Every structure is written in structure tokens, then in C-alpha cells.
Structure 1
Amino acid sequence: MKKILVVIFCISILLVGCNKDRDVDTENQKPTIAEDETDHNEQPANDEKKDISDTTKDRQDHNDGTDEMNNEQEESEQIKEEPYVMQLNKEWAGKEPILRKMTELIIPPYEAKVKPYTIAKDLSNIENIDQFSGFTNEQINMLVKNGFVVLPSRSTRMHYVYDTNEYKGVPNFITADSVLHTYHQFYSKSLINIESAFLYEDLDLLTKQMLEKSVMLLNELEDEDLQELQKKNIVYFLVARMLIMNTSEISAEVEAELLNTAKDEYALIEKAEGFVKSPLYQFDFDYSQFKVRGHYTRSEELGRYFKTMMWFGTAPLPLMDAEGNMNNDNTLQALLVSFTTFLDSKKTCDAELWANIYLPTAQYVGLSDDINVFVMNELRKEVYGGSEDPNIFNDAEYVDKLYEAVKALPDPKIAADLKSLDTPTEKQFRYMGQRYILDSYVMQTLIDSILRPIPSALDTMGVMGSDVAKDLIFNHYKPQDNWPEYEERFNELKNEISGYTLETWGNNLYNGWLWSIDETLTEYGKTSGMPYFMTTDAWKYKSLNAALGSYTELKHDTVLYGKQSVAEMGGSIEYADYHYVEPNVPLYSKLLYLTDYTIKVLEDRGMMSDAMKNGAMEYKELLELLITCSIKELRNETLTEEEYRSLLWYGGIIEGISLNFLNGITSDYGALDLTDMLVTDISTFPGAYLSLGTGYFDEIYVVIPVEDKLYLSRGAVYSHYEFVSSTRLTDEEWWELQGIRINREEYGDYPEFIEPSEALPKQPFWVENFKADTNEVEITELEVNWDNLSEE
């Protein structure tokens, strides 16, 4: 069983292929993990097992036959037996994953000793205050008391604020929000690129071959019970094939009843209306999950990929019930699916195709906590020994051993809390299950189907260490009043997560992004040596807002893969001389670390385009600059003229980085980059969905200390929304709620600005601690000093 546990928790590297048609560039094969980097906590495999190591593959070969494959998608398909021999692929059936080790994170040493300063009640000691007009008395009081104020704007991208600053001569305030937002651009665009340029083709071939081999295996089975179970597997892969083809009208040499069942499933997926009895599984299944959203609305191809992967990720075969009884039929069915995956194929081995899809996305989002095909393959070998005959799967002599093996498999960490629905929540097999993610584990632990069915993103922030989030939870929302157990669970989770090390946070990019967000939640006291504005209570709320804004982008980018918690229910001639970086050395260091690792992941797999790499390298340079400037600011050291000049161009820099990421995508996705506002659902309860959104990017005015003087600077921050929706919203639907309609014309897409909808949710009440309702501020451009120009 130890080998099986290794498989469940340690799949994190790309498997070496068995493609008979692809040429592998052996000269460029570079394992990304050495033998001495293997996790020594794992049990060693048997000598006859082969470790699977990460290799650099020639991705050009991946496109061989692409035109032929695309042509096949436009035609009805006939299931043919000739290409296959019903035997296991020897190379793949004997492979076992190992765990990739992460490098250590290095945060440069720094000391915070910013000199104290006070702000005059009339703002008269701010050197450039005459450049600004229109602040209300309330906003002036917020500037004096807090050292900053956030005002609403109509900016659809963060860099717009900085572009205007450059033109108006306003000092830039480089926010953590804008730096996190730029990492989101890299994460999102690089994920889109690997999905559309690489994974889509593997998924297309996988669904085709698995359907063909499932039909052939039916003809090889002698046991009548196994035959009936295999028919269900045929339906399963018929549905997958229909989803990737975007039509139920495919021709297959199968019984009409099977084809009709698959069509019924496909119809329910297309409606995507919520919990309905599944024609295949005969239990309640949440079809609303198949509403295409996130970045997958940007093209038909991405939409097909989304629905097919959602089917592979959510359609379950429960192996055990709540009483500890094994579901024999489902277990045998899962064994047959796994066996089929490891059978030889005419083209690429399906086990390799599975790994090509699962492992890169696992490095982005993490591993599934459900049982998958590699786990079942190990279980098959343990229970049935060296036999490769599927006809023995149902033999009575193996029943007890099979039960013990299934019983020993771990339960999922994220299991839905459902009472009135018969959706399975126990240990289950999913072909390519959605991934275990830390925040969903937190929210699932902190919900109760009766007493607290609706969680909050504040749960995650509070457990991760935000005192202000904890205060909002326990002193305003008060879930413990209805559900006393909440407080005990909250404290247990907080203690558990506080003990996480790099081994957990560095396990994948999703965890790493959460780990970076955690740095924005650090709260500073009056004697911390940090700038005055960062020591105020208002800044704690602003930082929580920044964390939630970035968290929303993380959830949006991974809406397909992350398992949700479920319960019922041009410039000016004269420029500003000084600029300021929100000093957060640990945050920028972690983002630099993540960027380096993302580059390595993409390059190892041959998935890094030149434009994407250019953007990533520019982002790294920016982060290195921000680290240097932050350390200098905290030491009261003056930035160099070159550093100030780089900060002056900040708007253009982050715009250029984002454009490189966009250009790094191999396909044109229309409205992909018309606005950076987005929405995502993060938790499910029948008929309603907990949703997060980012609206127009707000403006933040901050009083900054430079060379013993004070200046008023401006930057961009997130506007955060959390609300319950009756439907899973797409970005396009969210934009319209915000007052942006996308018009699609032959010559291109363009946004039309209209009045926000009355149905637009309100922001949470606590943003009033740092944000005003109106923005009537006007800025006078700096006058050109012609004498200075003539002297130059």
C-alpha cells in the first residue's frame, strides 16, 4: 500500500513518453530532478519499477499530424479495431512517480527604520499639494489620519493610473496590488497558452483512443458483469468525445442504448442548470459546473477543453460508502478504466497523454485528492499480481484482497457536505480529478450544511493570519453564534497552517501564489519602523482588500482545476521627481521565486514561447528593482536617478510585460484583453454560488516621505466584491453588471461603457475604513521649467 500512497501524493513531474510516432530529442533530455533530490520520506520503489523523471521534450513533434487530427474533428468518427492489440504497454505499466524538490527561497535581509513624520491638518506640509484640488473634507481627514485614501475610478486596467501620473507629473505609488496583478497576467496567459497550444491536442487524442479501446475491450471481456460495467465506461468516454468535438452527433459502433445515454448526459451538460439525476450514474450530479467561465469563454477551443476536463475532473465512481462498504461494481469499473489507459495505442500511449495533461497542470494548481488511473494501476498489480488479464478482476478469490486494498486508500480531504442530495462524497475514483487546494480545504472545514452553508473568503485570510479578517469574522459576521464549533475548527486550521513550510507552500504555483498573498496580510505596529501609512488600522483593511483582489484572480485562473467547497444550500515634458514603492520585500521576493520556477516549468516541457519568456524576464527585472527600492526606502536612503526614472515609467513597464504575455499566446482570443476586471465562483450550494469579483481599479493617494519632505503620490488598487449569486457568472456577464458591454464586430471587439446595472452587488462594508464614495479630484499638470530645459 505504501507504493499506492506514493502515487497519490507524489505525482509532480512529467512522465517519459512511449509515443511510437514522436521523435524524442535525446540530446536535449534533461531530468529536472537528480536521484539525491528524491524525497527521502518516501519509500523506495522495487528494483523492477522505473522512476518517472521530468524530461525536456521536442514540442515541435507534438504538432505532427495536427492538420489530420483537426480534419477528423470535423467529421463523424468510426470506431475501428485494427490499430490496437489488447496488451498493456510494458514501459508505462511499470512506472512510478517521484516527488520534485523545490529550491530554497532567499529573502534579502533588510531593516525597517523609516523616520516618523506627521501630516498637517490642512495638508500644508505636503510639497506638491497645490497640484491637487477637489478633495472633500472627509477625504482630507482620511489623508491626515491614515496617510492615504482610496477613491473610486473607471479604470479597467491598473496601468492606466500610472500612465496618467506620468503625463500629469504625479509621483507614482507602486502598490503591492499592481505587482500581484502582473503576476496574475503571467500565470493566466501562460496557462492559456499551454492549454491551447499543447494540452488540447493531447486531450483530443486521449478521448478518441480511450473510446476506441473501451469498445475493443468490451469484446475481450468474458465475464457478463464486467461486460455491463464496461458498457458504462463506453458511455463515459462517448460523453468525453462529444464534449471535445462539441457535438453529440458522432458515429460509433456501439449499442443504441449506450449512445442515447451519452447524448442525454451531453444535453444536461449543455444546459448546465444545476443538480440533476445523472442518466449514467443515477445520482444527483451538479451540471452547473459545466457553464464555461473564467478565461475559457475566450474561444470555442478553450470552451471545449473546459467542458471535457470538467467531465474528467468531476464525474465520480464512489469506491466506498459512509459505512465502510466497498462498492464492488464501481471499483471494478475503475480498474477497467485504468487498465484501458495503460493498453498499447497506435499513436501516443494514453497513460502518457494523461500525464502530459495532468502533470503540467498539477505544477500550476496541485494534485487531486481523489483516486486516479495511476493509483488504480498500482492497486491492480498489488491485488492481481503479475496477471494482465482483465477477465480475472471479478473472480471470487480476489474479493477480500481487493476490499482491503481499496479500504487502505486515503479519503479525500475536500468532501462535499450534502444532506438531501445523494451525490457521493466518500472515497471515489475520478479519471483526472479536480485538485486539492488549500483554501477549499479551509472553507470546506468551516461550513456546515445546516448551520453555516455559506463560507467566506475571509475564512481563508483569517486562517492564514490576518487579524483584521479574524476580527471581521468573529465580531461582525459571527458564525460562531449559530455554529459554536466554527471557532474551534478555525483555531485548529490556523495552528495547522502556521506550521507549513516551504515543502507545502512551494509544492505548486497555486500554493506559492497563496503564500505570496499572505505577505500582504502582515500588520505593522507604530514602532515597526515602517512608513506611517502602513502602521494605521486603515492600512490593515487596505492590505486585506489587496489580498482578496489577488486571491480573486487566483481563483479565476484556476476555476477549472480547483475543487470547490460544497454544501447545501504619450508623456509630458516635465515629470515628477520622486516616486515610492510600497515596501514589501518578502512579497516581491516570493513573486520573483515563483516567476523563476514558472519559467523553469515551462522551459522543461518545451512550452515557453519567446514573447512569454521576454515578459517573464522583464517582470523579474521589475521585481528585482522593487526589492532594491523597498530596502532603500526602509533605510531612509535616497534612490538613484536611474531608479526613479524606472519607477516613472512603471505604467508603461507593466503594460509592456502584459502585452508580452498576451503575445505569448499562440492563438488570437478576441476580447481576452479588453479589460482586466473578472469574476469567479469559489463555493457551491444548490441554487447559489459564493462569488468573488474585481471591479474598476481604484486610485490610492498616499503621503510619502522622501528626503525629509512629504509628497502626495498616486497608485492603483483592486476593488473587491464578495457576494452570493444565483448563477455561475462569466467575465462578460460581470463586465455588463459593471457597465461594460462588449460589442463584437467583423473588424474586432470593442467595449461600450454604459450605466452599471442595479443588480451590481455592493462592496463589503469594511472598505469604508479606507475608501471614499466619490472622486472629484483634479490634477494640474506640472509647468515646464524652460530655464532648466535651456540649461540642459
Structure 2
Amino acid sequence: MTLGGGCTKFARQESGDDTGKNNQPAAVRVADFAFYEEAPVNITPAVKPYKVDADLGNITNKEMFELSEAARSLLIKNGFVVVPGKYPHREFFALYEMNRYEPVPLFVTTDSLLHNYHLFFDYLLRVIETEKLAPELKELNRAMLSRVQSQYAELKGTGWENAAKRNTGFFAVAVKLMEPAAAVPAPVGNEVAEELALIEKHEGVGVSPVMNTGGGADLLNASLEDYSQYLPRGHYDGSDLLKEYFKTMMWYGRQTFRLKNEDETKSAVLIALALAQEENRRRWDRIYAPTSFLVGRSDDITCTQLQEPLAKIYGQQFDLQTLVSNEEKWNAFREAAEKLLPPAINSMPVFDEAAQPDREKEIKGLRFMGQRFTIDASVLQRLVYREVKENSRGDRRMLPKALDIPAAMGSAEAYAILESMGETDYRDYPENMAKIKTHIAELGKETWVQNLYWGWLHTLLPLIQEKSAGYPSFMRNAAWTRKELNTFLGSWTELKHDTILYAKQVYAEAGGGGENIDDRGYVEPNPSVYARLAALAKMTGEGLKARGLLNERDGTSLERLEKLALDLKTISEKELTNTPLTDQEYELIRSYGASLEHFWLEALRDEGVDHRSATYDRPAALVADVATNPGGGLVLEEATGHILEIYAVVPVDGKLRIAVGGVYSCYEFPWPLNDRLTDKKWHKMLDENQAPPLPGWTDAFIAR
């Protein structure tokens, strides 16, 4: 068996340090894909403070609006208010376009532009998976099955036979998931059929027939799987091919060949050797590398990492018989493998601390195409049981809160809300949170922009910075701080939705014109958000183009998105420095809805959408499960609903007016594990008024 030199090269490409220093270069190289270059924001905000009169007497266009007493009260108090629309707004562009046909000043929000990036990111992912990755995955499945079948034939009658048989079943499941009509090798027919039945039912946690090939393990030591994860969701329930791709990648991403189990370790080694074949490695890389650019590197041990100690102990060239016969080298390899780092995030069902005290030992192992490390999942992992222990009542924090993320990234308001909810009462929560905050604060820009997932989170960071003197008065209060948390969580939910297949999940144990009326609008002045979104759009285009994954039309759309973000950055800076806007800039605000509609149509054309009326079937609302409590049979669902209206009192030419825009509605709720929600189910809940209430902390700015 030869370990090709290409594997060593690939290991260098895949490795990387997830820590960084606080040097902040203007341009950062992102792996071998693209540069991240952020337009600088160098201004001193200088908007004079203002107050809204109790009778709205200093608002020039107050007659345009009919607000409830509750909404009016919040508008006077905070300078802005968010309200549900009289009729549900199913997309951002629909709200902005509706107002374009009335002489109402528009308020361009960060929510609306962040949503725009989500639309295009999700679209590009769908297209890449459908046209490039799924066909490549079919070829890889077949090639790996052929290779491990050869190993199985050669190893029959040895102590490695069962490990080779397990691998035959493992890749036969993958082939069958992508190609339902494919034949299954006879020796593993029963195990594969049982495994596929469990995947198809996707009902909950059970013992994996294939991974436990050979049997004999008690429940405590058996390889368990949460089959509810195999329900296609996100954009993956849109076509049969994407459903098949989802289930196959979930299979590859979740199944662990545990190093604590010698027979499973043998399986892991045989897979690493099978993948060392040059064409197999290239096929694997053509899937892994672009998805790493999109989401991140595997959180589990990879074949490359196993190939390194194999080559060191056995040499660059050896046959299977050497594996079988040389006990001394095998023991040396197992010792070396034990030194490999465990995953940062546990995405496996494991038992309580009393039954399995060494969780790292339980979860460490090879995953063929492991799900990816993400900083937010890592944060949540460290803020649930067993990490935070119990509170004074003996309760365990089995599911996290979305607010844990902005709190860990520095939001004092998010932490204060968590404190008021009793979420910080668990014994080790404050200490763990303090350590996480320190770690995140020390991360350098190279870390924050290492891939698109991290870059998206980096774009959201300015939203949790409280606004200093010189910002408009509506942005200088606690209610606005909470509105920005709402924006952060809305965009974060879209990120989790789009990457639900690749990112690891946390497990606790167990128009037209009108009258000639002054309708000049306003851009929410968050220039750093727009600068980062422009850089992210550019990095997205360059990175995908470098891999031959972007066509000219989509490249042009990303360039348009980058320009729009930069234009909004410029307008924001002018607003903050009291510099008059040009007629063209006011027209950009006025026609903002048309710009959003263009991007929306482009992002859905692969699904045959060519008219705005499709918002009924393709609303902005979405849902994603982000954490699992297998013992309690629950998942944590994060969702966005219909677009809410925001009314903000803004200064234009020294006078105050109300401008109208759109913001996210955000939901968080536990849900039965065996009924993980899809977007379609969530849309039905919204349409039938079955959605849970909005979080209580949003009462500060939402008038119900």
C-alpha cells in the first residue's frame, strides 16, 4: 500500500491555526481562494442629539402614519419603533417596493442587506452542490466502495476482516443514499438495509447496524446515531438530488470511527489507506476544499491526519499483510493516534457524566468528511451541560440560548438579558463565559475572515457595539441596542439555516411615481457593517471563481451586491458627518426595493422563480435547529418570521421625519427531536398563527 506524496501536501493545505493575534492588515489572504479586503471607516460621528416632541409636533410628515398608542409611545421614547405589518410582509423587497408607490421616506436597514447576502449565499450553495459537488460525490462513493471491497477480499480470515466488512457497509450506505437503485454487496446486505431504514424513518437516537458490524458491544459502548438529523431541511428539501446529497453528506459527516475501539480504529486506517489512492484523494478534495472555504475545516480527525503517523511508523510503502502481522507497529500507531486532538464540538449522543466520564475519549475518532468547526457552535458547547454543571435547584442547562453568541462576542446587553432569564445561574456559566469572551477578543482578523462562515459572523460584530455620541438619537438608547441584537440573531439564524448540513450541531448529554412630496429617505448608519459585507461579497466571488465554481452572471450579481454595500457605507458616513447626500444617493434609497427584488429573483432563478408573486411560496421566513438534547428528546429551533416594519425618526436637512423600513422577526423555541422543522412546516405554522410568541426582551422596541 503506498501513501502518495499528495497526501502530505493536502495535510498542509487543510491544517491551520484557529487562533490569531490582533494585527489587522488591510487585506488578508483566505487559504488559496481569495483576499479579504475591507474598505476603511475613518469618520467621527457628529449628528446633533434630538428629541421627539410628545405630540410629534417636530415631525414633518407625522400625518402620513397611523400608529397605535403603544407604538406612538415607543416612538416618542426611543426615536423608533418596530411593529408587525397590517398585512404580513413575506419578503423585504415587497415592503420597500410597497412604500415606493406611496410618497413615504424609506429607511434602509442592515437587516435588509444582510438578508440579501443570505439569499445569494444560499443560492450559490444550492447551485454548486447540484452542479458540481453531488456528481463528484457519486463518483467518490463508487470509487471508495470498490477500494474497500478489495481490502475486504484480501483481509478475509484475518483479525481485520470485520473492520473491512464495516467499511464495505459504510460506503455501500453512501452509494445507496445517492443512487437508490444501486446494488448492495451481499455480505453487508442486512446491515445496510437496516441502516437505510433507520435513516429513512429519521426518528431519533439508536444503535447503528453498520457502525456496530460484528456486534457484541453493550449499549454503553455501542456506536449510537441520532437519525433525526437525516431529515433534509434548509434548502435541501427542494429537489431529490439535494435530498440525496444531504443524507449522504450527513452520513459521512456524522459517523465516527472511534479510536477507543480497536476494531473501529482498524476501519479508520483502512479508509485512510483507501483514500490515499491519488484519484480518490482528488475527488475528496474537490468536495472538501470548496466546502471548507464556505463553512470551515473538519472538527474531527481526518484521513490526512491518520496518514501521517501511518507513514512515520510503517513507512511510505507497505501492504495490508504488514498491518495484519506486525503487532508492534500497530500498537505504536494506536499510541500515536491517541495523541491527536479531539473535536472541539460534541455532535454525538453520549451518556451522562456518571456513565461516561471521559467524553473526549468517547467522541474522538475519524470522520470521512467530518462536519465543520464553527466558533458559534464551540461557544454554545461550552455553555451547556456538562460544561456549566447545574444551578442551585439542580437543573441542567440542556439547551443553549442564541443570545449566548453575541454575549460571548462582547455584548453586555445580551449577557444582561441572559442574567435576567436565569440563564447565567448555572455553576460554571459565568466562568466559562468569561474565558470564551477573552479568547474571542484576542482573535485576529486572519481568523475572522478565514472562510465565508467566519466572515459572515465578522460582518455582524459591529451590531453589538453600542453607538457613541454623534450617532442619530434613535440609535443611542437601550431599545436600539436590543434592536441590533435582533438583527444579529436574524442574520445568524439565516447563516445556520444555509449551512445546516456542514456546520456541527451542539449536543448536551443525554413601482411607479406619486405626488411631488419630499420622500427623501435615510440609511441606517452602520458603515462598518456595510464595509464588511462588501468585503465578504467580493471574497465570495473571488473564492468561488478561483475554484471554477462561479459563472459570469452570478459573478456580476456579487459585484452589484458589493457596490450596493459600498454605496450604503458612503451614505452612512455622510449622514454621520452631516454631509448632504446627492440626488443620486437619495434615488438609490428611493429605489432600494427594486434593487432587493432584482437580487431576490436572481437568487431563486434556479428554482424557476421569475415573478414577485412567488413570495407566497418563497417567503423570507426560515427555521434551523442549532442544538440537540437527546435525553430530553428536544432540539432548539431558531427561526425568522415575517418582516416587521420599523419607523425611525431621522434628521434630513436639519428637520425630523419618520422613515419606514423592514427588520427581522426572530423566534427561539424547543421542539420535539423527532420532528425537526423544515421551512415548509414553519411557513405553515406562521400562516396558521401557530408560531410561538416573540422573545420577551424585544418588548423594548416592538409594539405588539
What is the TM-score of this pair, normalised by structure 2? 0.89
Aligned to 1:182: 116
**Maintained 8 Å contact 1:102/1:507:** no
**Maintained 8 Å contact 2:34/2:539:** no
Aligned to 1:588: 530
CA distance in 1, matches of 2:487, 2:20: 38
Task: Report the alpha carbon displacement of residue 180 of structure 1 after superposing the two structures with TM.
Answer: 0.6
Task: Report the alpha carbon displacement of residue 576 of structure 1 after superposing the two structures with TM.
Answer: 4.3
Q: Give deviations 1:183-235, integer Å, cap 9, x for gaps.
A: 11121111111000100000011111111222122223366112221111000
Task: Report the alpha carbon displacement of residue 573 of structure 1 after superposing the two structures with TM.
Answer: 3.1
Task: Report the alpha carbon displacement of residue 572 of structure 1 after superposing the two structures with TM.
Answer: 2.5
Aligned to 1:652: 594
Aligned to 2:668: 722
Larger RCO (CA under 8 A, 6+ residues apart) = 2
Task: Report the alpha carbon displacement of residue 5 of structure 1 after superposing the two structures with TM.
Answer: 11
Within 5 Å, give how 1:687-698 maps onto structure 2. 687-698=633-644
Task: Report the alpha carbon displacement of residue 362 of structure 1 after superposing the two structures with TM.
Answer: 0.6
Aligned to 2:217: none
Aligned to 2:561: 619
CA distance in 1, matches of 2:683, 2:531: 33
Q: Does 1:431 align with 2:368?
A: yes
CA distance in 2, matches of 1:102, 1:559: 26
Aligned to 1:786: none
AA partner of residue 149 (structure 2) = V
**Maintained 8 Å contact 1:12/1:98:** no
CA distance in 2, matches of 1:11, 1:418: 28
SS in 1 for 2:659: strand
Pick from 381, 393, 397: which aligns with 1:452?
Answer: 397
Q: Does 1:469 align with 2:414?
A: yes
Pick from 137, 143, 146: which aligns with 2:75?
Answer: 143
CA distance in 2, matches of 1:605, 1:664: 20
Aligned to 1:789: none
CA distance in 2, matches of 1:40, 1:382: 30
Task: Report the alpha carbon displacement of residue 569 of structure 1 after superposing the two structures with TM.
Answer: 4.8
Task: Report the alpha carbon displacement of residue 616 of structure 1 after superposing the two structures with TM.
Answer: 0.9
Which deviates further from its counterpart, 226-235 or 388-397?
Answer: 388-397
Task: Report the alpha carbon displacement of residue 662 of structure 1 after superposing the two structures with TM.
Answer: 2.6
Q: Does 1:278 align with 2:208?
A: yes
CA distance in 2, matches of 1:666, 1:226: 51
Q: Does 1:514 align with 2:466?
A: no
**Maintained 8 Å contact 1:681/1:691:** yes
SS in 2 for 1:114: coil
Within 5 Å, give how 1:119-518 maps onto structure 2. 119-133=52-66, 135-153=67-85, 154-221=88-155, 224-245=158-179, 247=180, 250-255=182-187, 258-282=188-212, 283=222, 284-320=224-260, 327-343=261-277, 349-394=279-324, 395-415=326-346, 418-420=350-352, 425-449=362-386, 451-474=396-419, 476-481=420-425, 483-518=426-461
Name the larger-Rg structure.
1
Pair 1:367–1:121, CA change in 2 (3 A): same
**Maintained 8 Å contact 2:36/2:536:** no
CA distance in 1, matches of 2:272, 2:487: 44
Task: Report the alpha carbon displacement of residue 704 of structure 1 after superposing the two structures with TM.
Answer: 0.5
CA distance in 2, matches of 1:617, 1:708: 34
**Maintained 8 Å contact 1:737/1:756:** yes
Aligned to 1:538: 479
Q: Does 1:114 align with 2:43?
A: no
**Maintained 8 Å contact 1:190/1:665:** no
CA distance in 2, matches of 1:584, 1:530: 10
Pair 1:118–1:728, CA change in 2 (3 A): same
**Maintained 8 Å contact 2:162/2:263:** no
Task: Report the alpha carbon displacement of residue 627 of structure 1 after superposing the two structures with TM.
Answer: 0.8
SS in 2 for 1:691: strand
Pick from 621, 627, 633: which aligns with 1:683?
Answer: 627
CA distance in 1, matches of 2:137, 2:226: 23
AA partner of residue 414 (structure 2) = A
**Maintained 8 Å contact 1:148/1:700:** yes
AA partner of residue 186 (structure 2) = V
Task: Report the alpha carbon displacement of residue 313 of structure 1 after superposing the two structures with TM.
Answer: 0.1
Percent same amino acid at aligned positions?
Answer: 36
Q: Does 1:709 align with 2:655?
A: yes
**Maintained 8 Å contact 2:176/2:184:** no
Which deviates further from its counterpart, 548-557 or 218-227?
Answer: 218-227
Pick from 506, 511, 531: which aligns with 1:565?
Answer: 506
Pair 1:397–1:425, CA change in 2 (3 A): closer
**Maintained 8 Å contact 1:9/1:367:** no
Aligned to 2:3: none
Pair 1:732–1:576, CA change in 2 (3 A): farther
Pick from 574, 577, 580: which aligns with 1:638?
Answer: 580
**Maintained 8 Å contact 1:5/1:409:** no
Q: Give deviations 1:627-672, integer Å, cap 9, x for gaps.
A: 110010001111000110111100000110222233367999x999
CA distance in 1, matches of 2:189, 2:68: 67
Task: Report the alpha carbon displacement of residue 9 of structure 1 after superposing the two structures with TM.
Answer: 7.8
Aligned to 1:18: none
CA distance in 1, matches of 2:154, 2:209: 26
